[in-house]
């Protein structure tokens, strides 16, 4: 990626493969520095073309992943508050990418990562508190 960024900064053309969340999206910003390439139609090898292949309004031609929490059944039954909290948490790809960029830039110690989380909570206090309220309610 260092070579790609250098080429971009020199005004040369670039083509690279990436995904989000990923630190590079904080350096080469979509619709400012780069654009996602689109395909005219979805045509996956297994023929299952009913999957979501759209990201930010563009057909990327491959399935878009969704990150989800998974717990075992016993834990879920014994811990309804935790299960509820994990079902509510939604952190945007841009927020995750921004945190990944901080780590790429050297802020990668356990203390740094804890601080990143605390900063995110502070910036999203209302949402975070609503998750905790709903999780606490599920425990009762």
pLDDT for 39-93, tens place per residue? 999 999 988 888 999 988 899 998 888 788 899 999 999 999 999 999 999 998 8
What are the backbone angles phi and psi of residue 55, rounded to the nearest 5°? -135, 125
Task: Examine the pLDDT at 106 and tell me if it is beyond 90.
Answer: yes
Return the axis-axis angle of helices 125-139 and 110-123, rounded to nearest 10°. Answer: 90
pLDDT at 79: 96
Nearest CA-CA partner of 102 in 21, 42, 9? 21
Preceding amide of 21 cis, omega within 30: yes
Q: Which of 17-21, 65-69, 95-99 has the highest mean pLDDT?
A: 95-99
Domains of the chain, first to last: 73-139 (3.40.190.10)
pLDDT at 34: 95
Q: Which range is least confidently modeled, 10-24, 57-71, 90-104? A: 57-71
């Amino acid at each position: 990626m260092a070579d790609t960024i250098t080429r971009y900064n020199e005004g040369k053309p670039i083509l690279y493969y990436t995904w989000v969340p990923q630190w590079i999206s904080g350096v080469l910003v979509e619709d400012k520095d780069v654009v996602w390439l689109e395909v005219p139609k979805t045509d996956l090898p297994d023929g299952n073309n009913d999957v979501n292949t759209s990201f930010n309004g563009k057909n990327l031609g491959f399935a878009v992943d969704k990150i989800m929490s998974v717990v075992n059944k016993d834990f879920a039954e014994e811990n309804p508050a935790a299960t509820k909290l994990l079902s509510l948490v939604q952190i945007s790809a841009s927020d995750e990418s921004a945190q990944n960029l901080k780590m790429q830039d050297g802020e990668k110690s356990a203390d740094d990562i804890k601080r990143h989380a605390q900063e995110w909570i502070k910036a999203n206090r209302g949402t975070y508190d609503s998750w905790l309220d709903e999780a606490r309610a599920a425990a009762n």
